[in-house]
Amino acid sequence: MAGRPSGFKTAAARAQYCALYDESIAQSPFPVEESDILTSFGTTHVLTAGDATMPPLVALHAMGFGSTMWLPLLPSLTPTHCVRMLDAVGGANKSMATGVIASAEDVVTWIDVVLDRLAIGHCQVVGASIGAWMAANYAMARPDRVARLALLAPAGMVGALRTKWLVTMTVKSAIRPTPAKTEWLLDTLVKETTRPRLRADPWRPIAQQFVVGMTHIRRNMRELRPGIRCSIDRLAASDIPVLILVPRDETGHDGPTMVRRYTQQLPSARVELVDNANHLIFIDRTDIVCDELRKFLAS
Residue boundaries of the structural domains of the chain = 28-160+223-297
| pLDDT value, residue 233 | 85
| pLDDT value, residue 161 | 72
Strands 42-49, 33-39: pairing is antiparallel
| pLDDT value, residue 165 | 75
SS (H, E, C) the chain: CCCCCCEECCHHHHHHHHHHHHHHHHCCCCCCEEEEEEECCEEEEEEEECCCCCCEEEEECCCCCCHHHHHHHHHHHCCCCEEEEECCCCCCCCCEECCCCCCHHHHHHHHHHHHHHCCCCCEEEEEECHHHHHHHHHHHHCCCCEEEEEEECCCCCCCCCCHHHHHHHHHHHHCCCCHHHHHHHHHHCCCHHHHHHHCCCCHHHHHHHHHHHHHHEECCCCCCCCCCCCCCHHHHHCCCCEEEEEECCCCCCCHHHHHHHHHHHCCCCEEEEECCCCCCHHHHCHHHHHHHHHHHHCC
Q: Which CATH class is domain 28-160+223-297?
A: alpha beta
What is the mean pLDDT for each group of 10 consecutive residues in the chain (299 residues)?
76 97 97 97 97 97 96 97 97 93 93 98 96 95 97 84 75 80 93 97 98 90 64 89 96 90 94 97 98 94
Give the number of residues written for the chain: 299
Compute how many other C-beta atoms are within 10 angstroms of the C-beta atom of residue 193.
Answer: 9
In sequence order, the 6+-apart residues with CB closer than 8 A to the CB of 57 are 77, 81, 82, 83, 84, 123, 124, 125, 126, 297
pTM: predicted TM-score of the whole model, two decimal places: 0.95
| pLDDT value, residue 276 | 97
Amino acid, single-letter form, for residue 177: P
Pick from 28, 63, 64: nearest CA to 48? 28
Burial annotation 242-252 (CB, 10 A radius, 16+ → b, else e): bbbbbbbbbbb
| pLDDT value, residue 277 | 98
| pLDDT value, residue 171 | 72
**Residue 207, class by beta-carbon neighbours within 10 Å (0-12 exposed, 13-18 middle, 19+ buried)?**
buried
| pLDDT value, residue 225 | 61
Query: CA 194, CA 211: separation in Å to the nearest integer?
Result: 17
| pLDDT value, residue 299 | 75
**Tens digits of per-residue pLDDT, 98-142?**
998 988 999 999 999 999 999 999 999 999 999 999 999 999 999
As a whole-number percent, the residues of the chain with pLDDT over 90 amount to 79
**Tens digits of per-residue pLDDT, 219-261?**
776 766 655 667 788 898 999 999 999 999 998 889 999 999 9
Four-point Cα dihedral 220, 213, 94, 280, nearest 10: -100
| pLDDT value, residue 240 | 97
